[in-house]
Amino acid sequence: MRRTVTMKDVAKAAGVSVMTVSRSFKADASVNAKTRAQIRAVAEELGYVLDSTAANLRSQRSDFVAVTIPSLNNANFADTVSAISEVLSQSGMQVLLGYTNYDIHAEERLIEQLLRRKPEAIVVTGGRHTPRGRKLLEKSGIPVVETWDLPQDPVAHVAGFSNARAMDPLVGHLADTGRRRIAFIGGDADGDTRGVDRRRGFVQAMEARDLDPTRLIPAGQPPISMLQGAQAMAQLLADMPDTEAVVCVSDLSAFGALTECARRGVRVPEDIAIAGFGAYEIAGICVPRITTVNPHPGLIGKRTAELLLMTLRGERSSETIRYEIRPELVIGGSTG
Amino acid sequence: MRRTVTMKDVAKAAGVSVMTVSRSFKADASVNAKTRAQIRAVAEELGYVLDSTAANLRSQRSDFVAVTIPSLNNANFADTVSAISEVLSQSGMQVLLGYTNYDIHAEERLIEQLLRRKPEAIVVTGGRHTPRGRKLLEKSGIPVVETWDLPQDPVAHVAGFSNARAMDPLVGHLADTGRRRIAFIGGDADGDTRGVDRRRGFVQAMEARDLDPTRLIPAGQPPISMLQGAQAMAQLLADMPDTEAVVCVSDLSAFGALTECARRGVRVPEDIAIAGFGAYEIAGICVPRITTVNPHPGLIGKRTAELLLMTLRGERSSETIRYEIRPELVIGGSTG
DNA sequence: GATTGACTTGGTAACGATAACATGGAATGA
DNA sequence: TCATTCCATGTTATCGTTACCAAGTCAATC
């Protein structure tokens, strides 16, 4: 096996010192333009690739931010990550992504693995962690941002929204359109803390209107799927056939519920209204469109990145900042 | 700002040498069990986290594999990545993920960034790269696997399937059920090379059956969306209303097309049959279920990981291995 | 013609860990 | 009892890069 090409090899080939090679790879370093071009050409020719492990070790900087999300395959988390990436890239910073499969123990391991790589900062989705996971974040010595949630006792900065309070306008809308027997599907899985919060918010919103908050149908473990929604809807129609509306923990389960209704000839919204959460693409295109709540995932990412840049520049690093994003009710034909 | 805790600090606090601390973090190293436990406790207390940049630099090993995918938010790529992660984790190896947004120039930059971190191997989705991207892969000196495709001229190992040939059974099925005027939606975007291949395969499959292969509707840039499918279907119904069946580049566009039909009162499959690609969850749950092709993304990931482990162990490193996965036709009500 | 300053380049040490080798002492066997 | 082995631990050098400091070149200025 051929040894990997190092700066030394490039320096020798170009007839300069390694230091000059190093400088020719840094945009703001002082090198003669011609020398730089020539060194770059030699490096390209040799197939040289900078070793960032060595660079990071020496400079004690890494130019990347670690981000954890529960699941790869989720349009909303993906939007948040994309927004973070986009804003950070303007400062030459990258994102190192890891996913937890909705498991805080996996999150703990992931946090440790990410911290080993010495990121400049770390972003975690959600505000619930293992004690050790939390301690790792606190002792990390780098800026921490929690997103997609508004934890009671945040580790540090926060850019998120209240999953519980987001339910109130939705229940309000259903109540205002005359529904009284309203059920909730999902939010029973330990790992899906945001789903649990939504169900709690649903119960509170129902109680606040003197409505019965006990029509709760479990939907199983995350990731939330359409199939879960269909099965839960089947159970709901069997157990509580007089239900007038159902709020689902996610648009995906809401769509599953909608298909179950279609298969059984149950009309939506005439026989039963269906609402979801997340403003996923499917909610806006299926027939009828599903009433949902848009948590503005891109905005969460943007605010998160702004917090990161602010703290990384050393501004206001002492105080803990909390950005609250306000979710938006989007009314579709499914509750019409 | 507090200086980060290093092994030296742990060693001093535990009253041992740094080497012993180092060993107490390696599972297979020879350290007294009691000493190890005590050092671990001290480290935990101090909030010490191993610096893997230093470890990787010294040991010239990194224990991770770089993987590029076109898009975060895609269930199929996510399944492939999950399968790779799962198999590799059994060997203590991790996955470092990056996404290209379906842009080979972004891919080139990503490949360079990933190689700088010195992965043990690299997996790329797709077989089309910029010349420089390809050269980076070739000169990387580490195992390379291309997935989700069967390139004419692969860089090294391959675990994928022929997007073009996958179209033949689908067109065959439509022809066998009596459809002759068959259209194709999508596959017109440069960045979506797999979509382009599918469209090419569609044309070939049509020509092989002496059917007119010119009903091609563009759907725009990736990522492929449901909305694109709906818009393309609207165009198709307007321009070629006598079309009997339509194959979509993805289940997502197929579902969009289905919703457009529902809105217009066009019956599926009676008035027009719809087929997709990818065996996404939605294809199996919507009404009617969409006929699709399952490329078995998990299997692609599994085979990829096996290739990686094989080459990393140094077996058969000289030859280039090509795993061909066989996509599977899944018939649903949308072509019934 | 000496002085100044801007620009460019080079030499040396160090980042934090581990590979390789060395060593001390306990355990084992004859 | 003494040689031998083995286990646990320590010492030294090094991975590839960049921070820091030093010095050389050249043109402009007085």
DSSP string computed for B131-174: HHHHHHHHHT-S-EEEESS--SS-SSEEEE--TTTTHHHHHHHH
A311 at interface of B, judged by CB pairs closer than 8 A: no
Cα dist. B327→B162, B167, B193, B273 in Å?
8, 10, 17, 21
Q: Do A53 and B49 touch (CB under 8 A)?
A: no
The pLDDT of A297-324, averaged and rounded, is 89
In this model, does residue A238 exceed pLDDT 80?
Answer: yes
Contact by Cβ (8 Å): B127, B154: yes
Q: Which residue positions in chain B have pLDDT lower than 50?
A: 1-2
Mutate to test the interface with B, among A6, A108, A116, A260 (most CBs of B within 10 A): A116
Q: Which nucleotide is nearest to A30 (CA to C1')?
A: C8
The pLDDT of A161-168, averaged and rounded, is 98
Q: What is the pLDDT of residues A275-293, one digit of tens each?
A: 999 999 999 999 999 999 9
At position A206, the amino acid (one-letter code) is M
Tell me the pTM.
Answer: 0.94
CA angle A294, A299, A300 (to 5 degrees): 90
The pLDDT of A256-265, averaged and rounded, is 98
pLDDT score at B316:
58
Contact by Cβ (8 Å): A123, A140: no
A74 at interface of B, judged by CB pairs closer than 8 A: yes
In this model, does residue A2 exceed pLDDT 60?
Answer: no
Helix axes B193-208, B167-176, angle to 10 degrees: 40
A31 CA to D20 C1' in angstroms comes to 17
pLDDT score at A3:
63
Residue of B50, B115, B282 with shortest CB distance to A116: B50
Contact by Cβ (8 Å): B268, B258: yes
Contact, B51 CB vs strand C, < 7 Å: yes
Distance from CA of B78 to the nearest CA of A (A): 6
**Residues of chain A found within 8 Å of residue B62, distances taken between Cβ atoms:** 53
pLDDT score at B17:
93
Tell me the C-alpha distance between A171 and A168, whole Å.
Answer: 5
- The three-state secondary structure class of B75 is helix
Q: Which nucleotide is nearest to B52 (CA to C1')?
A: C17
Instruction: Identify the residue whose tokens are 């730089």.
Output: A36
Phi first, then psi, for residue B64 (nearest 5°) are -145, 160
pLDDT score at A1:
40
- The three-state secondary structure class of A303 is helix
Residue of A75, A96, A227 with shortest CB distance to B73: A75
Q: What is the pLDDT of residues A56-105, one digit of tens each?
A: 999 999 999 999 999 999 999 999 999 999 999 999 999 999 999 999 99
Residue of B53, B72, B75 with shortest CB distance to A53: B53
Residues 27-56 of B with CB under 8 A from A: 47, 49-54, 56
Tell me the C-alpha distance between A161 and A147, whole Å.
Answer: 8
Tell me the C-alpha distance between A40 and A115, whole Å.
Answer: 32
How many C-beta neighbours within 10 Å does residue A178 have?
9
**B302 Cα distance to chain centroid:** 12
Burial of A277 (0-12, 13-18, 19+ CB in 10 A): buried
Instruction: Identify the residue whose tokens are 């194959």.
Output: B247
User: Mean of the per-residue pLDDT values for chain A?
Assistant: 95
**Residues of chain A found within 8 Å of residue B115, distances taken between Cβ atoms:** 49
pLDDT score at A315:
66
